[in-house]
Structure 1
Amino acid sequence: MSRPTLTNKVSKLICQDILAGEFKPGQKLVVAELKEKYNVGASPIREALVQLSWSKYVKLEPQKDCWVAPVCKEELNDLYESLRVVSSVLLKKAILAGNEDWELDALTSYHKLSHLSFNETFCWKEWEERHLQFHISLLEGTDSKNMFEFFRDLINQIKRYHYFAMATLKSESDVLFNIGEHEMIMKQVLAKNSEEAISLLDNHLLNSMQRIETAIDIAKQSQRS
């Protein structure tokens, strides 16, 4: 396997383990231990960690330590402030510029999300992936490609917080299952009611941020006890 391909594979594996909670926020990542875990050499590990530092999943200091990026309200609020502004602009543009294919893609993504039932077999990972795709499809009709790429970068960073919240809330994780909010957004988008759709999306993002803040508070209380 070529070096770039191997590096990308290792980066993806480490990322998956961070999202799954195998590596906790703030946990030190030791190259020697990662070599043994993933059965690869030191160079692909180091290169993968550099890649993950670009996406802000890990903190990396040259010649020093590397650790999983911590979770904190300050970063969360900053990410969501940017996401709310960008999403509002993109949704307005998408509704104005979006064609029938865009509407169909967004509706398909919504139906895939809504078909998940919150029961004993519910899979949070599947929910998160479908939830992410719904938001992408919703804004993909825009003609502002650079802004859309910035949006993709933001939601990739926030994805780590979503997984953290799912793992932390556990017994009360049903508060994250908010299909009703998505249904209302979808209806207003299809009706091309930009103002109401933007307002609903903004409230949805704000609610999501507050749920994650609750998870951060619970985690901090657990660490103190």
Structure 2
Amino acid sequence: MAEPKNNKFATLSDKVMHQIRHDILSGELEAGQKLVLSELKGKYQVGGSPLREAMVQLSWQKYVVMKPQKGFWVADVSLNELRDILKVRQAISNMALKDAIENGTEEWELAILTAYHKLSRIDLDDPNFDLDDWEIRHKQFHLSLVASQGSSFVSDLLEYVYDQQERYRHFFLNHEFAPEQQYHDNGEHEAIMKAVLARDTELACKLVNQHTERLYQITETLLENE
């Protein structure tokens, strides 16, 4: 089991929660799999109390399903759910992106450039690239696009929706699949960045929507062939 890079956890249950989340996102713990607490104690070398706390946290985040008196399961995945997640993401993202482009400052532009630079340094074609590192940088890039001044409510909501989409990432970033089946950047994020910095709202929203649609199409093909 790979250890999450960030070892600055407030509590043991927080550390275990991140470890289990990592294994769900990587596909080591499969969608729909029953999680037996006695087995998890040995796997993560943790006691019952922090493990149960971690499982409750993951159920709140919808990575795990908790059934009273029955136990825990890794949350299942479905194309219908993914479609709903991406619909909500597109609606919120378009609204937030328009506002950010209208009100974004020079600091906002610099944050986008920095986030893109960090993301672009990861080569998805390298079979040894770090999935967790890519997730952090990819998420930061997309959130930087909408990080304008004002209330954080919309950006917080978008971050939550984005986290739900991440449960599907191991489908389109899995090197067990043929190269033509996997996700490749193909300049998408650079094009999005340039459109946003050019303050071209219509093009920026179009490119972001196309980006999310392509992730859906790749996942759809892989799920249907499983």
1:111 aligned to 2:117? yes
Code of the aligned partner of 2:60: W
Code of the aligned partner of 2:54: A
Structure 2: any 5+ residue segments left out of the alignment? 1-9
1:65-84, aligned counterparts within 5 Å? 65-84=71-90
1:159 aligned to 2:159? no
Shift of 1:179: 4.1
User: Which one of the candidate residues 24, 33, 54 is aligned to 1:27?
Assistant: 33
Q: How many residues align?
A: 216
* Partners of 1:25 and 1:69 within 8 A in 2: yes
* Partners of 1:93 and 1:142 within 8 A in 2: no
Q: Which moved more, 1:168-177 or 1:48-57?
A: 168-177
2:43 paired residue number: 37
1:134 aligned to 2:141? yes
Alpha-carbon separation, structure 2, partners of 1:204 and 1:128: 15
After superposition, what is the alpha-carbon deviation per residue over 1:43-77, rounded to whole angstroms, capped at 9, x for unaligned? 21111111001111011111112110111011101
SS at match of 1:22: coil
Alpha-carbon separation, structure 1, partners of 2:182 and 2:103: 34
Shift of 1:199: 1.3
Alpha-carbon separation, structure 2, partners of 1:22 and 1:175: 18
Code of the aligned partner of 2:37: V
* Partners of 1:23 and 1:68 within 8 A in 2: yes
For normalisation by structure 2, the TM-score amounts to 0.88
Higher helix share: 1
For normalisation by structure 1, the TM-score amounts to 0.88
1:223 paired residue number: none
Alpha-carbon separation, structure 1, partners of 2:89 and 2:70: 32
1:215 paired residue number: 222
Q: 1:212 to 1:119 in 2, by over 3 A?
A: closer
Structure 1: any 5+ residue segments left out of the alignment? 220-225
2:52 paired residue number: 46
Alpha-carbon separation, structure 2, partners of 1:186 and 1:100: 14
* Partners of 1:124 and 1:166 within 8 A in 2: no
* Partners of 2:83 and 2:216 within 8 A in 1: yes
Q: 1:115 to 1:98 in 2, by over 3 A?
A: same
